């Protein structure tokens, strides 16, 4: 029985005008998912609202000011000591120039169909496989209504 304490992380599906999503490659020295690709975002600080936390993390990790738009599902991750729930939001950039932090090696705008070809962080791979319709342009999707 899993009785690890929960933690909540907020993540952003940041799309550009070409419909590509911003992915970050985790540092090769990360304890979890080293060198794997993920969405920007992170944990909520004590007393911080979830959207404030997401805006702060996006600024720290990407240098961008963003507008958060919509909720886009969840994913889970088991790490030593924690059961992390990832809450995904969609959004777009308002201003800024991308500048990544020491937590990541590289950034890339990734086309919808390319995402699955990258080595993804475990929780993001699960999310991607369970929420394909979010990554499929409406005109391509048979699932979207």
Report, in Å, the least distance between residue 100 CB and its own copies.
Answer: 25
Q: Which stretch binds its own copies (CB under 8 A): 18-26, 30-38, 62-70, 99-107?
A: 62-70
Pairing verdict, β 41-43 and 64-79: unpaired
| 77-96 positions binding its own copies, by CB under 8 A | 85-89
First to last CA, the chain: 38
User: Which of 126, 4, 141 lies closest to 73, judged by CA?
Assistant: 126
Q: Give the residue with the Cβ less far from its own copies, 67 or 99.
A: 67
Q: What is the DSSP string of 34-94?
A: TT-EE-SEEEPPTT--HHHHHHHHHHHHH-EEEEEEEEEEEEEEEETTEEEEEEEEEEEEE
Binding residue for its own copies (CB under 8 A) from 68, 100, 110, 112?
A: 68
Q: Give the residue with the Cβ less far from its own copies, 108 or 133.
A: 133
The values of phi and psi at residue 33, to 5°, are 50, 45
Question: Rule CB under 8 A: is residue 59 a binding residue for its own copies?
Answer: no
Q: Give the residue with the Cβ less far from its own copies, 38 or 107.
A: 38
Compute CA 4 distance to the chain's CA centroid, rounded to the nearest angstrom: 22
Which residue has tokens 């886009």? 72
Report, in Å, the least distance between residue 51 CB and its own copies.
Answer: 4
| 18-57 positions binding its own copies, by CB under 8 A | 46-47, 49-51
Q: Which residues bind its own copies (CB under 8 A)?
A: 2, 5-8, 46-47, 49-51, 68-76, 85-89
């Amino acid at each position: 029985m899993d009785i690890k304490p929960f933690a909540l992380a907020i993540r952003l599906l940041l799309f550009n005008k070409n419909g590509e999503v911003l992915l970050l490659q985790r540092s090769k020295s990360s304890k979890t998912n080293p060198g794997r690709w993920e969405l920007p975002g992170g944990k909520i600080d004590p007393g911080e609202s979830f959207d404030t936390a997401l805006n702060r993390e996006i600024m720290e990790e990407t240098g961008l000011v963003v507008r958060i738009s919509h909720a886009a599902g969840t994913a889970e991750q088991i790490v030593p000591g924690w059961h992390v729930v990832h809450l995904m939001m969609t959004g777009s950039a308002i201003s800024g120039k991308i500048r990544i932090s020491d937590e990541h090696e590289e950034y890339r705008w990734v086309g919808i169909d390319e995402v699955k070809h990258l080595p993804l962080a475990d929780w993001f791979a699960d999310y991607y496989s369970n929420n394909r319709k979010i990554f499929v342009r409406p005109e391509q999707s048979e699932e979207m209504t």
